[in-house]
Structure 1
Amino acid sequence: MVKLIALYRQPNDKEAFDEHYTSVHTPLVEQVPGLQKLEVTRIVGTPMGKPAGYYLMAEMYFADQASFEAAMASKENRAAGKDVMSFAGDIVEMMVGESEV
């Protein structure tokens, strides 16, 4: 599987971030063609009990590279990308990975 990983650093206004992420951004992401699974993890700390530099991690799973590429080229993904830049462009880092089972 191929996945797009989005790591969000700590937002200035967590409540506003959560509201937008849940009510606007997630529904946009869920419309991306070929998306098999969306997994969202709220970061709560580190093993040593220190505050984490990241607030949230989202993993978007696709069957294979071709499905991923088609999804990235879709109008639905462009809408989700435009949205993420509008509310979290300064705190998000994205990467692509291959999941090994």
Structure 2
Amino acid sequence: MVKLIALYKQPEDKEAFDEHYKNVHTPITEKIPGLKKMEVTKIVGAPGGRESKYYLLCEMYYEDHDALKAAMKTDESKASGKDLMSFAGNLVTMMIGEEVE
């Protein structure tokens, strides 16, 4: 499995971020063809009880690199990317990972 990973820094307005992420961005993203599973993790802290500079981690699973590449070319993926840039473009870092067995 291949993952498209989105790592978000702490937003200034967490309530507005959460509202948009849950009610607008997630439904758009879940429509992307080829998406097998989407896992969202809220970061609650860093070791030693410190606050993390990160707020949220989203892992979007695809069968393989070809499936991910095909998904990124779809209208649904473009809509997700456009929405992402509108509310979190300055907060997000995107990366691609492979599960290790």
Give the TM-score of the pair, scaled to structure 2.
0.98
Residue in 2 that maps onto 1:27:
27
What secondary structure sits across from 1:85 in the alignment?
Answer: helix
One-letter code aligned to 1:96 = I
Cross-structure match for 2:81: 81
What is the RMSD computed on CA atoms of the aligned residues?
Answer: 0.5
Aligned to 1:65: 65
TM superposition shift of 1:48: 1.0
Q: How many residues align?
A: 101
1:99 Cα deviation after fit? 1.1
Equivalent residue of 2:67, what SS?
Answer: helix
Query: In 2, Cα distance between the equivalents of 1:57 and 1:96?
Result: 13
Structure 1 portions without partners, runs of 5+:
none
Percentage of pairs with the same residue: 60
1:45 is matched with which residue?
Answer: 45
TM-aligned CA deviation for residue 44 of structure 1: 0.1
Alpha-carbon shift at residue 30 of structure 1 (Å) = 0.3
Shift, 1:19, TM fit: 0.1
